[in-house]
A and B are shown apart, each in its own frame.
Chain A
Amino acid sequence: MKQQRIDAGPAGPVPWYDPRVRSLFFQAIAIALVFWGGWVLVDNTLSNMESRGISTGFGFLNKTAGFGIIMNLVPYDATMSYGRTFWVGLTNTLLVSAMGVVTATILGFIIGVARLSSNWLVARMALVYIEVIRNIPLLLQIFFWYFAVLRNLPSPRQSLDVGGILFLNNRGLYLPGPMPQEGFGIVWGGILLAIAAVVGIRIRARKRQLATGQIFPAFRVGLAILVFVPVVSFLVAGRPLEWDLPVLRGFNFGGGITIIPELAALWIALSLYTASFIAEIVRSGILSVSKGQTEASRALGLPNGLTLRLVVIPQAMRVIIPPLTSQYLNLVKNSSLATAIGYPDLVAVFMGTTLNQTGQAVEVVAITMAVYLTISLLISLFMNIYNRAVAIKER
């Protein structure tokens, strides 16, 4: 009788069939490929730049730019450096993005709620708006507002005039600019005081509600304080505010605040376009709250407004916020379409003019992409924090 030997140890797989060995092998290949590809690119780029006489490094940021920019939030003139053009572009991008986010959110929420309205006509109109706007390219909408609408407004001499303080013409919208005089600090103090008071009242009201169940009308009282305190402090300080009115000087207006048509067109188009997407997000968010929740809240005796505020909206927000932030991100990225109509945003100023003048494509493109990457990472970071905060706490 032959005894089979079983004590030879487990016959482990041959090394090249071992999953761990294989995985190491493939990862090593992947790293090698990435490094090889990177090296080839860098090598090619360096030799190309050398043969074309393009300088490298970030030294160009300190050189004089020598070109004008039609709109700047940070002080700028043509004698400043290329580094400064970066900041001008970045602030312009952030400005139009912030304006767009605010209006698109307001408009989107209104349209999203209108889409669910019990009023047939209103719901239909909201649907038509959404289906028309979101199926037309954004760039086309920007062109339409800029070339077909705003550029066809009357010239400065025939500008539309609202009460002699507001002027609209093909050079832009002219608004009176507030000029705080001496003693305006009192008003700022009043505003800060009012905000602090409102926050305090909200906290107290919440504590009292949790303790006793009594509801304090924090919203109305807060609103009253917010309006009343600054107005009183404004009057007490002796109205320390003057307005810088726009006046027609020669061929154009001077003074006041100017919203250039490039900014206006971009702002309008971004808001309308993004609002159509936000409206759909809001609609699906509200629909995602099951009817039982509303009914249960009614059964508890909560009136309509409180049902909406305490039960429906908090749950809808959980569904709304993640896609909403990605829409905000899209809006920031889409603001780069400014290039097409000449609004001086980051891409137009820095990746456009600065790149053309210096020829340092690699550095400029890298910086610009890094900015957008940072914005995107920051937004997704905030979203993750928020998500963790509102996620359903399961026990």
Chain B
Amino acid sequence: MTTRIISATKPKRRKKSKFQLKLWPTVRFVFTIGFFILIGTDIWNGSTCVVDIGPVQIACPLGVAQLIAASRKIIPALLVGALVSLGLIFFFGRAFCSWICPGRWIFNRGPVKNSKPWKYRAWVQRVIVGGVVGAAFVCHNPIFCTICPAGVVCRGAIAAGNGGSVLPTIGWYTMLVGAEWATGRSWCRDMCPLGAAFSRISRWNPFLKIRRAEDTCIPCVACQRACPEGLNLSKDHDFSTCTKCLECIVACPRGAVDVELLQIN
């Protein structure tokens, strides 16, 4: 009964939220595909590991950390590139995970079970990242790069553009999907070291934050069901794991999701 009372006092639902666009998933998909076409046809020489944009080199921070751990050497240009990508995470949060990483379209589709982030999630993420870097240190080899979903597809795209084979890409993805299936957990949310590292860093991201409209939002679970990270706009306070996929905007029946360009507490 309470919901009925609340809805009676709330204003009528808005037709649209500020950034309402039913096509957000399509836009993201086109963005991802376009990125890999640019990579595969050598218009951009690079990959998600290292890419040149003009004079700036952007490097994967986890890859650089592993590289330093594995080779015990510091390469200044790559370190600068890693700092640049940390800056990008500061501005865009985990947007990489849903706008560029193709794993988003393969793992983690649809509503997920157990989507309530568990209590010690931050520590689990720190352990995953530390374990990956430690494994690189022990093995003298950036091990995680072998199965990195983004890097594997980049290599597949470059190989396809240069007459090579895409079979390793398919093989690694089969393995990751198998792991996801076997553990019953989502790769992107619970297992991916890249996502873990990015969500640890994106705590400091104040830009482009999703926010519920207090006046129209009836606390429900529509956004939580749609969110691959299992975030609930009306319950959660920490949106550092948000990948800015904008699925909640599409899913919200009342148009109560806004995107705040700059959020300062």
Question: Is the A/B pair a real complex?
Answer: no
- A residues touching B (Cβ–Cβ < 8 Å)? none
